[in-house]
Structure 1
Amino acid sequence: MSEWVRKAVIDRLNAVHMHVDAKVAIEGLSDEEAKMGPYEGGRSPKEFLYHIVFWQDFEYDMLRGTVHEVKKGSDWDVGSETWDGLVERFNIGLEGLLSIATNWDMDKEIKITETVSTRVGPALLGISQHTSYHLGQLVTTRKALGKWSKD
């Protein structure tokens, strides 16, 4: 895979020319503020970040050879996680994915099951798209709550 693809993957993970930097999108909230939803039944910033981190960790582990079974709904179950803990996990996970994007062969095949596989490059693009989508929801929720001053 050519180097422009590697650069594109790294740019996507870093949100270059896409949207606000992910680290900016999640900074400046207390745990209490992060738990608030914009309306009854609406997801909170904390739920969005938990979901992002859940799948970020899943992809990172998958790329390194461990595929976890996922129980339906467990990717939204925040449990006792704190906002600061999730922010730290997100940042560590992002650094891990960036390290893979920088150092690994983007064409390397990753076996998921006996009959399903992917490659490093497409897997990283997929998680960056997923993260971007939900970061947009997180920022929109912060705006609705009056907890966004970055514009």
Structure 2
Amino acid sequence: MHRDELLASPLAFMPPARLLDGLTAEDAARTIPGVQHSIVEILAHMVYWQAWFLNRCQGVAAPMAAHAAEGWPEVTAADWDPLRAQFLSGLQRAVELPEDGRVTPPIEFPPLAEYTFNDAITHIAQHNAHHLGQIVILRQVMNLWPPPEGSYTW
């Protein structure tokens, strides 16, 4: 599978850019009773981990978050547009990462210590798919689905 299909233009579900289209900053920051995070908070979390993995692939030895809360940056509606742009540019950065290579220095978390670039990309893709699904459900609950260009019909 090509990285573009895995990350930016998947065949199994709607491409992330299209999935995020049509959301205002206010809608993205809207909270739903009983739901822990807003769409903008979920996107900030995705940007955090996507950037962390990509930076590690480029040799930045940033430590892994010590606690899950560190991977959930505090954001507001004003952060929506910059986060969306950062997320999408990160996808492109991931697509363009060299095919071969190891994450160096190795990630300090034993299950990830032997990661190659392809392992990191797969991790990013799985993490993003999980949270993009949450965003779809939140959009549905808020009657903001489908996005302006429509959705798949099957």
TM-score by length of 1: 0.83
Once structures 1 and 2 are overlaid, which stretch shifts more, 114-123 or 51-60? 114-123
How far apart are the structure 1 equivalents of 2:66 and 2:145?
A: 33
- CA shift for structure 1 position 71: 4.5
Pair 131,86 (structure 1): closer, same or farther in 2 beyond 3 Å: same
Check conservation: 1:45, 1:138, Cα contact below 8 A.
yes
Separation in 1 of the partners of 2:125 and 2:60?
A: 19
Per the TM alignment, residue 67 of structure 1 is displaced from its structure 2 partner at its CA by 3.0
Q: How does 1:1-151 map to 2 (within 5 A)?
A: 5=1, 7=2, 9-69=3-63, 70-72=65-67, 73-80=69-76, 82-100=79-97, 104-106=98-100, 108-111=101-104, 112-113=106-107, 116-149=113-146, 150-151=150-151
Residue 103 of structure 2 aligns to a residue whose secondary structure is strand
What is the CA distance between 1:105 and its match in structure 2? 3.2
- Give the unaligned 5+ runs of structure 2: none
Give the TM-score normalised by structure 2.
0.82
What SS does the aligned partner of 1:117 have?
Answer: coil
Are the equivalent residues in 2 in contact too, given 1:34–1:46 (CA < 8 A)? yes
What RMSD over aligned residues (CA atoms) do the two structures have, in Å?
Answer: 1.9
Identity rate, percent? 23
Alpha-carbon contact 2:44-2:72 (below 8 Å) kept: yes
Report runs of 4+ in structure 1 exceeding 6 Å deviation: none
Cα distance between partner residues in 1 of 2:46 and 2:31: 17
Greater relative contact order (Cα 8 A, min sep 6): structure 1 or 2? 1
